[in-house]
Chains A and B, each alone.
Chain A
Amino acid sequence: MNEMGFGLRVAEYLSVSNRTLDGRALERLRVARTRALAVSDTGSRGSFYDDLQAWWVRVRLAFSPVMSSSAMLLVLLALFFAGGQWSSSHRFEAQQAIDTALLIDDLPIEAYLDPEFRAWLARESRS
Chain B
Amino acid sequence: MARTRIALLTVLLALAVVPGSASAQDWTRLTPSQQRVLAPLQAEWASLSAADRRQWLAIGDGFEGLTPEERARATERMREWANLSAAERDRARQQYRALRSMPPDQRESLHEQWEAYRKLSPGERQGGSSR
Instruction: Name the segment of A26-34, A42-50, A94-102 touching the other chain.
Output: A94-102
Known contacts A78-B10, A102-B81; A112 and B96 CB within 8 A of each other: yes
Least CB distance, B64 to chain A, in whole angstroms: 12
Interface flag for A115 (CB, 8 Å): yes
- What A residues does B36 contact at CB under 8 A? none
The answer on a CB contact under 8 Å between A74 and B7 is yes
CA distance A25 to B111 in the complex (A): 84
Interface flag for B48 (CB, 8 Å): no
Please report the total number of A residues contacting B with Cβ < 8 Å. 46
CA distance A53 to B80 in the complex (A): 66
Known contacts A81-B14, A124-B129; A103 and B99 CB within 8 A of each other: no
Q: Mark A108-125, 1 if CB is under 8 A from B, else 0.
A: 110111111110110111
The answer on a CB contact under 8 Å between B111 and A85 is no
Known contacts A109-B92, A115-B91; A103 and B59 CB within 8 A of each other: yes
The answer on a CB contact under 8 Å between A79 and B125 is no
CA distance A71 to B4 in the complex (A): 6
Question: Chain B residue with minimal CB distance to A98?
Answer: B93
The answer on a CB contact under 8 Å between B58 and A75 is no
The answer on a CB contact under 8 Å between B10 and A103 is no
Contact of B54 among A71, A85, A92, A105 (CB under 8 A): A92
CA distance A120 to B99 in the complex (A): 12
Contact of A78 among B7, B70, B71 (CB under 8 A): B7
The answer on a CB contact under 8 Å between B10 and A75 is yes
The answer on a CB contact under 8 Å between B99 and A116 is no
Chain A residues at the B interface, C-beta cutoff of 8 Å: 5, 8-9, 67-68, 71-72, 74-75, 78-79, 81-82, 85-86, 89, 92-93, 95-96, 98-109, 111-118, 120-121, 123-125, 127
Chain B residues at the A interface, C-beta cutoff of 8 Å: 1, 3-4, 6-7, 10-11, 13-14, 17-19, 54-55, 58-59, 62, 66, 70-71, 73-74, 77-78, 80-81, 84, 88-89, 91-93, 95-99, 102, 106, 110-111, 113-114, 117, 120, 125-126, 129-131
Could you list some 28 contacts between A and B, CB below 8 A? A75-B3, A75-B10, A78-B10, A78-B11, A78-B13, A79-B10, A85-B17, A96-B55, A98-B96, A102-B96, A103-B81, A104-B66, A104-B71, A104-B73, A104-B74, A107-B99, A108-B114, A112-B99, A113-B84, A113-B88, A113-B92, A113-B95, A115-B95, A117-B114, A117-B117, A118-B99, A121-B110, A121-B113
